[in-house]
Amino acid sequence: MIAIDKSVLDALVEQAKQSPRKRMNLDLRDSEDDSSQRMLNALEPGTEIPVHRHNETSETVVVIQGLVEEVLFDDAGRETARYHLEPGSNLSAVNVPIGRYHTCVSLRSGSVIMEFKNGKYDPESTEDIL
């Protein structure tokens, strides 16, 4: 069992701050054979997550702490929606449909999201970068 408490979140945020990519994830799967994707992802302002889509699964994003913006795009790369996600607010999670281009932007230092997707991670076949 992994208790996701303040010490776990603080350690992940500190690793993200030290990372050149300004983000760090913590794998929550049972094993490498687990066919799901479940992770915590600490995102610092300035991290760059390419606009992408998942062709075989939806993606659920829940903000655990901080403030992030989930941005959706159409197939031509035009922005179609922005969602501010903040714990305790009117909106703290979104589910991005299969095949929908999106990205996540950190708006506050110390932001941590939890992501859920079906299937093992395989960038060659499961996601397209716009």
Domain ranges for the chain, please list them.
6-119
* Contact between 64 and 104 (Cβ < 8 Å): no
Sign, Cα dihedral of 120, 112, 59, 22: negative
pLDDT at 107: 98
What CATH class has 6-119?
A: mainly beta
Compute CA distances 3 → 8, 71, 120, whole Å: 8, 30, 23
pLDDT values of the chain reduced to their tens digit, one per residue, 130 residues: 678 999 999 999 999 999 999 999 998 876 677 667 888 999 999 999 999 998 889 999 999 999 999 999 999 999 999 999 999 999 999 999 999 999 999 999 999 999 998 876 555 555 677 7
CA angle 19, 43, 3 (to 5 degrees): 95
